[in-house]
C-alpha cells in the first residue's frame, strides 16, 4: 500500500475501535439528521459517520437509483429502522417542503440538517451561458436556501434548537479558474449560513459551514466534464494523477477524502460544537492557505 493509504486505513480502524469501545458516549444517540445529496460521496460518508454515532438519518437525493442502493447499504450496517430515503430536487420548493414533512413523520422530528446536494460545472467566464450560471445558482444557492429554511422552520416549531451545516467549498473563499458560476454560488452559502446563525441563535439553532477542498475519491462530481477539464488543465490524464497534484500542492501533503469532510460535519452536528455558530471549518489539507497553484 502507498504510505498515505496505509496511514489512513490505520487511522480509520483506530477511530472505529474507539467508537466500539464507548457506545454509551455516542454523541448523536436519538438524534435525527437530514442530508441533501445524501446518496453522493460526501453525503454517504456523512450519513455513515452520524449513524456510527447513533443518529437516524434521512437521505434526500434527486437520483432515485443511487438513493435506493445507498439506503440498502446503510440499512445493512446500521439497521433498516435508522435510515430513510426521500426523493427531492432541492431547487423545487414543494419537493423540499414535502421532504421535511416526510422526515418529521418518519422519525418524529429533526435535529441536524446537512445542506450538501451539489454539482460542479466548468466553463471560462466568457463561455458561461446564462443557463449554466442559473443552474449553479438554482442548485447551490437557492437549493441551500430552501433546505435550510425548511429545516429552520421545523426546528423552530419543535423549540429544541438544532444544527444546520452547509457543505460549501474552498472555492467559496478563493477564485478557481473556469468556475465563476460555481465559485459565486458557493460563496453565497457562506453568507446564508451566517444569516441563519444570526436569526437562529435566539432559538438555539446553529448554522456552520464545512469547506472541502478537492475530494476526488468517492465523489461523482469529478466523474465527468468537471474532472476532465481540471485534469486537462494540469496536463493529467486521470483523476488519480490529478489527486496527486492536489496532494503535492497542499501544506500537509495529504489527499482529502469524504470521510474527512464527514468528521467536520459530525463536529458541527453534535453538542461538542455547542458554542460555535456562524463559523467555517476548511478541510483542505491546508490547500486554501498554501498559495501554491
Ligand atoms: P456527489 O456528486 O458525489 O454528490 C452530490 C449529490 O447531490 C449526488 O448524489 C446528486 O445526485 C445530488 N444532487 C445533485 N443535484 C441535486 C438536486 N437538484 N437535488 C437533490 N440532489 C441533487 O458530490 P460530492 O463530492 O459528494 O459533493 C457534495 C457537496 O460537496 C456539493 O455541494 C459539492 O459542491 C461540495 N464540494 C465537493 C468537493 C469535491 O471535490 N468533491 C469539493 C468542494 C465542495
139 in ligand 1 pocket by Cβ < 6 Å?
yes
255 torsion bin: left (phi>0), alpha (psi -120 to 50), beta (else): beta
DSSP alpha helix (H) spans, the chain: 3-21, 41-52, 64-78, 93-107, 130-136, 143-158, 180-200, 225-233, 239-249, 258-269
The cell numbers describing 2, all together, are: 502507498
pTM: predicted TM-score of the whole model, two decimal places: 0.92
Q: Centre a 10 Å sphere on the Cβ of residue 174 and count the other Cβ atoms it contains.
A: 15
Closest-lying ligand 1 atom to the alpha carbon of residue 115: 32
Closest-lying ligand 1 atom to the alpha carbon of residue 139: 18
36 in ligand 1 pocket by Cβ < 6 Å?
yes
Given a contact cutoff of 8 angstroms between Cβ atoms, the answer to whether 163 and 119 are in contact is no
The cell numbers describing 70, all together, are: 445507498
Distances in Å between the Cα of 91 and the Cα atoms of 30, 140, 249, 263 are: 30, 9, 35, 27
pLDDT tens digits in sequence order for the chain, 293 residues long: 667 777 777 767 776 666 555 444 468 999 999 999 999 999 999 999 999 999 999 999 999 999 999 999 999 999 999 999 999 999 999 999 999 999 999 999 999 999 999 999 889 999 999 999 999 999 999 999 999 999 999 999 999 999 999 999 999 999 988 899 999 999 999 999 999 999 999 999 999 999 999 999 999 999 988 899 889 989 999 999 999 999 998 999 999 999 999 999 999 999 999 999 999 999 999 988 876 54
37 in ligand 1 pocket by Cβ < 6 Å?
yes
The C-alpha torsion from 250 through 255 and 259 to 261, rounded to 10°, is 20
The DSSP bridge pattern shows strands 280-283 and 112-115 to be unpaired
User: What ipTM does the predicted assembly reach?
Assistant: 0.99
Burial of 111 (0-12, 13-18, 19+ CB in 10 A): buried
Burial of 219 (0-12, 13-18, 19+ CB in 10 A): buried
212 in ligand 1 pocket by Cβ < 6 Å?
yes
For residue 272, the CA-to-ligand 1 centroid distance in Å is: 26
List all residues 6 or more positions away from 205 whose beta carbon is below 8 Å from its beta carbon: 152, 155, 156, 161, 162, 163, 164, 196, 199
Amino acid at each position: 500500500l502507498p504510505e498515505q493509504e496505509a496511514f489512513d486505513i490505520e487511522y480509520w480502524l483506530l477511530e472505529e475501535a474507539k467508537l466500539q469501545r464507548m457506545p454509551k458516549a455516542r454523541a448523536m444517540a436519538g438524534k435525527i439528521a437530514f442530508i441533501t445529496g445524501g446518496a453522493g460521496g460526501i453525503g454517504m460518508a456523512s450519513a455513515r459517520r452520524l449513524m456510527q454515532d447513533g443518529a437516524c438519518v434521512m437521505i434526500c437525493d434527486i437520483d432515485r437509483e443511487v438513493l435506493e442502493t445507498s439506503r440498502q447499504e446503510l440499512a445493512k450496517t446500521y439497521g433498516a429502522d435508522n435510515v430513510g430515503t426521500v426523493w427531492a430536487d432541492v431547487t423545487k420548493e414543494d419537493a423540499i417542503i414535502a421532504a421535511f414533512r416526510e422526515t418529521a413523520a418518519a422519525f418524529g422530528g429533526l435535529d441536524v440538517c446537512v445542506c450538501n446536494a451539489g454539482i460542479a460545472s466548468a466553463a471560462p467566464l466568457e463561455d458561461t451561458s446564462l443557463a449554466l450560471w442559473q443552474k449553479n445558482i438554482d442548485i447551490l444557492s437557492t437549493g441551500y436556501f430552501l433546505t435550510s429554511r425548511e429545516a429552520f422552520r421545523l426546528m423552530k416549531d419543535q423549540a429544541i434548537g438544532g444544527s444546520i451545516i452547509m457543505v460549501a467549498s474552498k472555492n467559496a473563499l478563493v477564485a478557481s479558474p473556469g468556475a465563476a458560476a460555481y465559485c459565486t454560488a458557493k460563496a453565497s452559502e457562506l453568507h446564508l449560513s451566517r444569516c441563519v446563525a444570526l436569526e437562529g441563535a435566539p432559538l438555539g439553532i446553529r448554522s456552520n459551514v464545512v469547506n472541502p477542498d478537492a475530494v476526488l475519491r468517492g465523489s461523482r462530481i469529478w466523474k465527468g466534464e468537471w474532472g476532465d477539464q481540471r485534469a486537462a488543465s494540469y496536463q493529467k490524464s486521470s483523476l488519480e494523477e490529478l489527486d496527486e497534484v492536489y496532494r503535492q500542492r497542499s501544506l500537509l501533503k495529504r489527499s482529502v477524502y469524504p470521510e474527512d469532510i464527514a468528521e467536520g460535519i459530525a463536529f458541527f452536528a453534535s453538542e461538542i460544537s455547542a458554542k460555535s455558530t456562524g463559523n467555517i471549518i476548511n478541510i483542505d489539507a491546508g490547500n486554501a492557505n498554501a498559495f501554491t497553484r
